[in-house]
Amino acid sequence: MNVEGTAGIVTGACSGLGASTARALAARGVQVYGFDLPPAVEQMGDCSEGITYLAVDVCDPQMVEEAVSQAASGAEPLRTVVNCAGIGPSMRILGRKGTHDLDLYAKVVQVNLIGTFNVLTLASAQIAKTEALESGQRGVIVNTASVAAYEGQVGQAAYASSKGGVVGLNLAAARDLAQYGIRVNCIAPGIIETPMLATVSEEFRHGLAEGIPFPKRLGSPDEFASLALFLIEHDYINGEIIRLDGALRMNPR
């Protein structure tokens, strides 16, 4: 699918994977609508070249519906969505301070899984209204899971559950939306150099990189963005989950 002259939505667009993806889509001629929480959007300003930032909590159906409607109301048809918004706090099911906090568990699932589903659902309703392209295609949605969906580490019960839900959603969503000409794919990143890793030492990052078979380095947000673009532009990839991890298989710790 040629994305030039279309509109796209990227969640978590103010940092990390979302920021790189928003810039990559804008560079391809997409009018990008970047969703993120209000404090993050305030720091970014209203817009940059090819990107309009909107204050959106992906867990809030009304906020998402209004923002999706805005993205779909411009001159460019809404064709793409890349869901990058997510959180990853760590807590053991049983730890020194007691049992896993249920509210924290629910919050992680709410943001990572239900937030993804919320945006996917409301955006697909708008994409389905667009004029069909060749072979009846109307658009593409790319969701973000994690290798933790397959190899959740100690302390990742909530995160692994939420990302496992995104993996489980993928094929069902692709089948549900096939009749509308909307493809759904998913990326499962390994260890990516995002702002969350900026707070740890160089020695710790080196140790993480040493555990990756090849290449022995952390992934970059730009590599995620490149893969997202590939999945968007390749018309015959649908219902697929691709690991972006350098052949990493996570150890328990």
3-state secondary structure (DSSP) of residue 211 = coil
Selecting among 53, 159, 180, 236, the annotated active-site residue is: 159
Contacts of 61 (CB under 8 A, 6+ apart): 118, 122
Active-site residue, 180 included: no
One DSSP character per residue, 134-149 reads GGG--EEEEEE--GGG
Backbone CA torsion sign across 222, 159, 9, 228: positive
DSSP label of 200? S
Q: Which residues pair with 146 in a beta bridge?
A: none
- In the numeric block, the tokens 């609508």 are attached to 33
Q: Which 3 state secondary structure label does DSSP give 159?
A: helix
Residues in the chain, total: 253
Which residues are catalytically annotated? 159
